[in-house]
Amino acid sequence: MKKKLIFIGLLLCYLGINAQEKLADKTKRVKVDGVAVVVGKNIVLDSDIDKFKKELKQRTEGKIDISDCEILEEIMMQKLLAHHAVVDSMEVADTEVNSEVERTIAYFTQQLGSMDKVLDLYGFNNEADLRGELYKIQKEQMLIREERASITDKMDVTPEEVRTYYNNLKESNNLPEFGAEIELAQIVRTIEPSKAETKRVVDKLNKIRDDIENGFSFRLKAIINSDDPAVSGNGPGSGGLYTITRQSNFIKEFKDVAFSLDEGEVSEPFKSSFGWHILKVEKIKGQERDVRHILIQPKISSEELQAAKDTLTNIRQQILDKKITFDEAVLKYSDDKETKNNKGLILNPQTNDTHFSLTRMDPTLYGRISNLKAGEITPPFYDEVRGGAKMFKILLVKSKDDAHIANFNKDYEKIQQLTLEKKKEEAIDKWAKEKIVDTYIKINKDFKKCKFKHNWKKE
């Protein structure tokens, strides 16, 4: 079951996790790759199997041994889902697909530094071709998710089904091992610039705005003045220029202003979590807008930094001296809106609960809390949102569980999820058995020898 769940997790994002290798040398690869399988109108290449195997080995640190035939069957299952998503007229909105494409491109650009480097590394001549390929990749992923959802979304499991599943695993000596986990709560003190510094920034932006309206180049003003790190590159953000839609991965304040202006209009200075901006709409193209902006971030003095740290040091000491509880201190002192009303507990965005796996934690964060016991608190430390808010934090280790074999009472929610996943996979297997019969499938002779779970060979 553990191997199956790893497969599910990887295959749900199959095209995405291999995007880097799939995008590189794609035209050359099509000429030399052999076709392993055709499912409906979907092709699986030999290199798809090799790259998936490589990814699986990296993600499991070589602990899971899976044959090429097993990998191929799981990939065929995804292609079968993709094929029937089209047959069943599943729909995904272009705006959703484009939003994911924007998010992916933003990630690649951030990692590599510029769009030119992204294009060079992945073997594309221009951004339009890259976006086109990413669009196809993302749309297939979303269609697969829609088809799976149509089969399994209404499923649930009863407590008795959970208990039966657990007991079966226990009797077969196959209970899963859950890794070490931790719950963290925080108190955050955001460092705000002084009123005088904020006024300086706003006055400067107003002066730049006046110069632009009197004929000065917005692009040159952006290159000289903007704190946006992309301003001096060659990709998106070069000279302050971005092409955005309402679905683009930009902060709300930025999009609100961009879509409130007419073509050629320059905004008043406005604030976001990144600092202060002015923005000009260069061109309106249907649902898209070419906008150019200048970002200036107010400076924080060393004295202001030290004052924030001293305040948090004092709060921590009050908690240690039992003059106030951590929960009370969160409500009274923390500036973080997301955790303030949840006793400071930090939500894991990947699992949507409060537990973090120690082995998958950010290395910097791991270094701060790995040696702490439940109930202990870190000293104050500096942190900042990338390009945005600056702050000091303290972290409380709310709970800490060592790696252990699954326990029904302690790990009920995890076992419940495993039970539901098993039930869903059984439903997918039943669905596949019926659909394979009337789906065109052609398997290369090199894989005819494989012993598949399903009758892909139709023998």
Domain boundary at 251, 270, 296, which? 296
Residue 458: HSE in the Cβ half-sphere, 13 Å Cα cutoff: 11
Q: Are residues 287 and 374 in the same domain?
A: no
pLDDT of residue 20: 43
Whether 242 is covered by a domain: the verdict is yes
Element (H, E) at 265: none
Instruction: Write the CATH number for 18.
Output: 1.10.4030.10
Q: Looking at residue 53, what is its pLDDT?
A: 80
Among candidate residues 296, 317, 344, the one where a domain is terminated: 296
Residues 6+ apart with CB under 8 A from 357: 179, 180, 181
Burial class, 237, CB count within 10 angstroms (exposed 0-12 / middle 13-18 / buried 19+):
buried
Return the structure tokens found at 185: 């709560």
| Inside any domain, residue 458 | no
Residue 14 pLDDT: 42
Does 452 fall in a domain?
no
Shared-domain flag, residues 316 and 266: no
Statement to judge: residues 82 and 207 lie in one domain: no
Q: What is the pLDDT of residues 155-198, one digit of tens each?
A: 999 999 999 999 999 999 999 998 889 999 999 998 988 999 99
Say what the pLDDT of residue 282 is.
94
Residues 14 and 99 occupy one common structural domain: yes
Whether 231 and 311 map to the same domain: the answer is no
* Residue-wise pLDDT tens digits, 376-433: 999 999 998 765 678 999 999 999 988 899 999 989 989 999 999 999 999 999 999 9
How many domains is the chain built from? 3
pLDDT at 11 over 70: no
Do 439 and 351 lie in one domain? The reply is no
Q: Above 70 in pLDDT, residue 3?
A: no
Q: What is the domain-level CATH number for residue 318?
A: 3.10.50.40
Render pLDDT for 55-101 as a digit per residue (tens, 0 to 9): 777 766 666 678 889 999 999 999 999 999 999 999 888 878 887 88
pTM tops 0.85: no
Tell me, yes or no, whether 223 and 355 share the same domain.
Answer: no
Domain span at residue 139 reads: 2-175+408-447
3-state SS, 110-137, equals HHHCCHHHHHHHHCCCCHHHHHHHHHHH
pLDDT in tens, 313-330: 999 999 999 999 999 999
Flag whether 457 is in a domain: no
The answer as to whether 288 is a domain residue is yes
Last residue of a domain, one of 268, 296, 324: 296
Q: How far apart are CA 33 and CA 47, in angstroms?
A: 7
Instruction: Answer whether residue 41 shows pLDDT above 50.
Output: yes
Average pLDDT of the chain is 86
